[in-house]
Structure 1
Amino acid sequence: MRRLLALLLAPFVLAVLAGLVLLMPSPGDYARVVEAGRAGQSAQGVPGLGGQTPVDGEVLRAAGEVDCTDPNLPAPAPGEGCVAVTVRLDSGPAPGTRIATLAPSTPGSPRFAVGDPVVLAWSGGDPADPLGYTLVDFQRGPPLLLLGGLFALAVVLLGRWQGLRALVALGVTLGVLAVFVLPALATGASPVPVALIACGLIVGVVLPLTHGASARSATAALGTLASLALIGVLALLFAAASRLTGLGEEASELAGVLGPGLDVRGLLLAGVIIGALGVLDDVTVTQTSAVWELHRADPAARLIDLYGSAMRVGRDHVASAVNTLVLAYAGAALPLLLLFALAGRGLGDLLTAEDVAQEVVRTLVGSIGLVASVPVTTFLAAVVVRAVSSSSPSTRGEPA
């Protein structure tokens, strides 16, 4: 059975390796695209730093509202003004320099206080000229590092060595996204193949790394890959049937920077596939482990009994996981939902609007794949665990 599992996984491994060779851009190509993207952001006025240089600083003084006399700032609404902010530059071309600048004072603008670590955008020119700097954001590194440390500590305390392996696997996942997915998409590779290759690579590395190289991990990988294939097909069909363009706010800005060659709908489909993987591997690993433990408790259980018992566990898992998936997407789109609600649009208009319909398709396609993964993975696990156990009489009841 282990040999059969290896034969079943071999085509996926070869496809992933071939995809990496074909789709991985050279560092030089990616660097040129990044440089062109920075220039395009600066020229088109895309929010953020664009082609400007980020400079760290600290707020020394934040005065009350004053008249907006800076011609580089947008005119305030009636009754609104600007806040005079004095900042000490901690990096950039003139560290230690103090500059005075203006920040808009509107309902949605950030409120600066003494001691706040901030980020400014420097447009070049005289480093001591205050007009060359614009307040753009807060520095969020320290609290995010603290939160990340607490997360890692919690995982290691509960999972011990397996938790440590899970953190390493998380680093591998982030590495795949940063080293392969983003460069490949930026240099014009087709998004759906990139997403499928990335998911195959993540599954092939993360599952054995986290749970060990065993028949159990191989079974979970097969169930995950089969469900991902279903999700990819459904996403392709229903994105086309729903006439989804993928042109949300961020995608529109991205298309303006990278040009008309960007496959925006493909980017939407790639997001559906990669987003679904996070929930899928949770379900497939859990179902496989449930089958293994049920077999350990009753090594003589028939295939149909083992499958039925594990499916009862799977139904509970699916019921809660689908709700989690829906709430996760609803939470991400909450400002958009509120905006439509305040516009007085009906539920039908709300659900069929482009931005919301994207989330509906994403949620339902991911949920269907999630539901399908349970019987598929459970059946595979029940067959494999019995075969592995029967082929290893010395470890019967405790298959790998």
Structure 2
Amino acid sequence: MNMLVVLAIILLILMYQVGGKNGIRSFISLFLNFIVVLVVVFFMLDTNTNILILTLVAVVLISSINLFYINGMNQKTLTAFAATLLTISILLTLIYVVSQQMAIHGFSEEETEELVPYSLYIGVDFLQVSAAVIVLTTIGAIVDVAISITSSMHEFFEQNHKMTKQQLYQSGVAIGRDILGTDTNTLFFAFFGGYLGLLIWFKDLSYSFGEIVNAKVFGAEMVTIFCSGIGIALIIPIAAALSSVTLQVKHKKSKPSL
């Protein structure tokens, strides 16, 4: 039996044992997200496609799968969904501007030798591709932080309906502070592990520290890490603010009128 199938079965069994039905949904969502990414890549090859709009559509689909399919349609997931879309919209604009100013899109100097036999006139805007890649690598962590904050704030408010908007917001930010450090470091080590081969390559090419820092391919990865961290930092106050407002509005509507 193919080892990938064996690993998939082990993962499915463990997710079912730990999460029950939600674990099964989480397992299926992995494949649904994979299909979304494949479709996005396919449409990116069309020169008439606006990649930034396509990325936002992909974000909506991935967020819907990870929030509504796994956790159901409720106030917590709706608030997390709205916070995710708002954060990604801000982040996508920032990434596009930074990528344009730093000129990190396209192929690096180290890749030119392998690309000699091929034509580079493929009609794809690599600036938009660069922004799309960063957003798609960040969306999972942003959705995770959003639902963690909205779920926790919902439980706090269920235990104490006397909490004001300010108190709810502060509790959400306090939760976010604990998540911020761990998620940012998780992203950093994920990228570092994925590009460990790149650092070894720099060493074999006898790059100096200055050459490494100024290398286009290294700069692109650092921008990805920093923008991912910015996205996680942004989602915390946004999710906390939206959740505090929606919780108070729902509570006022549920009060019996005198």
TM-score w.r.t. the length of structure 2 is: 0.89
Residues 96 and 127, structure 2, Cα contact 8 Å, conserved in 1? no
Q: Determine if the alignment matches structure 1 residue 194 to structure 2 residue 54.
A: yes
Q: Cα distance 1:346–1:298, how it changes in 2: closer, same or farther (>3 A)?
A: farther
Greater shift after overlay, 323-332 or 348-357? 348-357
Residues 199-226 of structure 1: CA deviation (Å, up to 9, x unaligned): 1122234311111111111100011111
Greater shift after overlay, 332-341 or 275-284? 332-341
Q: How do 1:250-265 and structure 2 match up within 5 A?
A: 256=118, 259-265=121-127
Structure showing greater relative contact order (alpha-carbon pairs closer than 8 Å, 6 or more residues apart) = 2
Q: Determine if the alignment matches structure 1 residue 168 to structure 2 residue 28.
A: yes
Paired residue for 2:200, among 315, 331, 338?
Answer: 338
Residues 232 and 269, structure 1, Cα contact 8 Å, conserved in 2? yes
Q: Cα distance 1:333–1:239, how it changes in 2: closer, same or farther (>3 A)?
A: same
Residues 165 and 210, structure 1, Cα contact 8 Å, conserved in 2? yes
Q: How do 1:119-130 and structure 2 match up within 5 A?
A: none
Q: Determine if the alignment matches structure 1 residue 354 to structure 2 residue 205.
A: no
Residues 294 and 310, structure 1, Cα contact 8 Å, conserved in 2? no
Q: Determine if the alignment matches structure 1 residue 370 to structure 2 residue 229.
A: no
Who is 1:62 aligned against?
none
Partner Cα distance (2:19, 2:2) in 1: 25
Paired residue for 1:215, among 75, 81, 90?
Answer: 75
Partner Cα distance (2:29, 2:245) in 1: 28
Quote the offset at 1:342 in angstroms: 4.1
Q: Cα distance 1:232–1:386, how it changes in 2: closer, same or farther (>3 A)?
A: same
Quote the offset at 1:257 in angstroms: 6.5
Q: Determine if the alignment matches structure 1 residue 326 to structure 2 residue 185.
A: no
Residues 236 and 269, structure 1, Cα contact 8 Å, conserved in 2? yes
Instruction: Name the structure where strand makes up a greater proportion of residues.
Output: 1
The alignment covers a number of residue pairs equal to: 251
Quote the offset at 1:371 in angstroms: 0.3
Q: What RMSD over aligned residues (CA atoms) do the two structures have, in Å?
A: 2.2
Residues 154 and 247, structure 2, Cα contact 8 Å, conserved in 1? yes
Q: Determine if the alignment matches structure 1 residue 234 to structure 2 residue 97.
A: no
Quote the offset at 1:393 in angstroms: 4.1
Partner Cα distance (1:258, 1:163) in 2: 44
Q: How do 1:60-209 and structure 2 match up within 5 A?
A: 142-178=2-38, 180-188=39-47, 189-209=49-69
Quote the offset at 1:380 in angstroms: 0.6
Partner Cα distance (1:302, 1:347) in 2: 52
Quote the offset at 1:230 in angstroms: 1.6
Partner Cα distance (1:162, 1:317) in 2: 22
Residue identity matched to 1:302: T
Residues 288 and 381, structure 1, Cα contact 8 Å, conserved in 2? yes
Largest Rg, 1 or 2: 1
Partner Cα distance (2:201, 2:125) in 1: 28
Quote the offset at 1:377 in angstroms: 0.4
Where do 5+ consecutive residues of structure 1 fail to align? 1-140, 395-400
Who is 1:308 aligned against?
170
Residue identity matched to 2:218: V
Partner Cα distance (1:294, 1:257) in 2: 58
Residues 303 and 382, structure 1, Cα contact 8 Å, conserved in 2? yes
Quote the offset at 1:362 in angstroms: 0.8
Where do 5+ consecutive residues of structure 2 fail to align? none
Residues 172 and 236, structure 2, Cα contact 8 Å, conserved in 1? no
Who is 2:157 aligned against?
295
TM-score w.r.t. the length of structure 1 is: 0.59
Q: Cα distance 1:258–1:164, how it changes in 2: closer, same or farther (>3 A)?
A: farther
Residues 351 and 360, structure 1, Cα contact 8 Å, conserved in 2? no
Q: Determine if the alignment matches structure 1 residue 391 to structure 2 residue 253.
A: yes
The residue matched to 2:118 in structure 1 has which SS?
helix
Residue identity matched to 1:293: E
Percent of residue pairs bearing the same amino acid type:
22
Who is 1:82 aligned against?
none
Residue identity matched to 2:197: P
